[in-house]
Structure 1
Amino acid sequence: MSYDITPSQEQALLRLLGKVMEVMRDDRPLHADDPAFGTLESAKFFKPGEAGKTYSFRNNAFPDATVDLSTWTDPLDYSDDRTRVSAVPAYFHLRFQHPPSRVNRRLLEQRLDLADYWIGADGIREDGNDIGHSLPPFTREHRYRYRANAGEHGRFPVNVEFFFVDSAPDDPTGKIWLTQITIHRDYPYLTPAMRKKKREEQNQKKRQTYGYMNLCTGTPCPETGVWEGWTDSGSTDVMEFARGQIFDAVRSVSLEQGGSCPMVVGRWFWLCSTSEKSGTVWKGIELQG
């Protein structure tokens, strides 16, 4: 069964998609109880030990439609322990069981502020938006793909895709039905090895940046993390400090040698974030999270 979209349904669709774009493109907080999404029916973790959830909604304007918004464990957080990484918005899928016709594609493009090109998985820009028809047996399915224009507060590239079904050649109405819409952030794909390399690069950059600040005993810590203490004898200490906490004195004898020793004025250098503490090896000592 199909039908012509009503003015009230069109407004509900625009509100829904506008709210999704606020979350995906403008990086606004996701509030699953926002009525623009509909009524929250479920929120399920889809990968054990990670923060990502799929939120499923029932929208009264389209009661038979599937409305899902998924969050993923933040791919831009390079921590190795993924159980400590927060979730970020990633993927939205709207699928109509009974597709509406007379949906104005140009209006959707305008209201969602979509560009006249798209970016493929290989990162290459493709001008135009008409992808053409799908392969058999879905030869009447017509796809349109877009890169959303960056908003004022946008932080991530966003891809949008519309799925329409053209009328049959012998259908005198010539109607076109909207079947699906997908919206997703174009996050980079990182393997555990790639994340490890990114962490090392990030820590090295911070170490260099903070090294120029001459952070020594008695100065405030600029960022919560694990810091390495140095004296004239070299690297002798490691401690966790919170942002704003005053850097302590440094052991005069290396921690690896054990035992008590006099504490002296020393310098502190960035080692790693607190989330990376567990498993980090410093001078043969495995730090405990």
Structure 2
Amino acid sequence: MRPTVTDAQRDMAFRILTTAMAILRDDQPFDPAHTIFGRILAAHPLRGRVGGMEYSFVNPAFPRTQIILFVVPDPAAPSADRTKGKQVVTHFTIRFSPLLRDISRSTLEDLLHVDIGYWIDGNGERRPGNDMGTAPPEIRLHSYRYRASNLPTSRFPVDVEFAFGDPDPNDPAPDEPKTPVLMDVLLSRDYSALRRQYRE
């Protein structure tokens, strides 16, 4: 039988997601030693980024869930010594295990305050829609992309991606989910406007 998700786990998942969004928006500071994400499981230099770190956390509510953050020297405040300048979180990923049932896409859209109807690509260009479809179809991994809504308190735009597992219409087993299950949430701070300023 598939593991079930408790109300306490679901509540913790929401708190983790809203905290991550606040950090990516720059509404809230990030202290890896004191965070709702849990205990630091590992901290490694981020490949290809001088002064960057990759943090992995283990949360007691989800011992098998992956929680990963990328922390790099602030691109908006370059320093000659990139190991000593201000550090900022640029990426957050959570991969749930067990997968979260009974959490709809609209619930996440409301929780994280995202704009509906478009997403922003890596070049800062606006693209229509949010549904990226399944890739590949037989895996039933269904992705959705968004841009977080522009809030008065936020300094940075954030790109959002949800990954759901679609139900198998050919599996009649009673413990198989009949609605999509939440697998991953990815958040990334967008610096495309800053990059355009540098090019100009």
TM-score (norm 1): 0.60
1:92–1:182 Cα contact (<8 Å) kept: yes
Distance of 1:78 and 1:118 partners within structure 2 = 28
Distance of 1:49 and 1:26 partners within structure 2 = 20
User: Aligned residue pairs: how many?
Assistant: 195
Q: Secondary structure at the match of 2:11?
A: helix
Which runs of 5 or more residues in structure 2 are unaligned? none
Q: List aligned pairs for 1:1-289, cutoff 5 A.
A: 2-47=2-47, 50-79=50-79, 81-116=81-116, 117-135=118-136, 138=139, 140-172=140-172, 173-188=177-192, 198=198
1:42-91 deviation per Cα after TM superposition (whole angstroms, max 9, x unaligned): 22222488322112111111111101111112222344553443321100
Change (3 A) 1:71 1:2: farther
Distance of 1:130 and 1:3 partners within structure 2 = 28
1:39–1:57 Cα contact (<8 Å) kept: yes
Query: Which is bigger in relative contact order (C-alpha 8 A, separation at least 6)?
Result: 2
Change (3 A) 1:198 1:79: farther
Distance of 1:41 and 1:59 partners within structure 2 = 9
Distance of 1:33 and 1:80 partners within structure 2 = 27
Change (3 A) 1:39 1:188: same
Change (3 A) 1:155 1:49: closer
1:84-135 deviation per Cα after TM superposition (whole angstroms, max 9, x unaligned): 4332110001012432222232111111111102111232222332111112
Change (3 A) 1:189 1:51: farther
Distance of 1:13 and 1:97 partners within structure 2 = 11
Distance of 2:185 and 2:56 partners within structure 1 = 15
2:46–2:70 Cα contact (<8 Å) kept: no
TM-score (norm 2): 0.84
Q: Secondary structure at the match of 2:192?
A: coil
- Give the drift of 1:147: 0.5
Identity level (%): 37
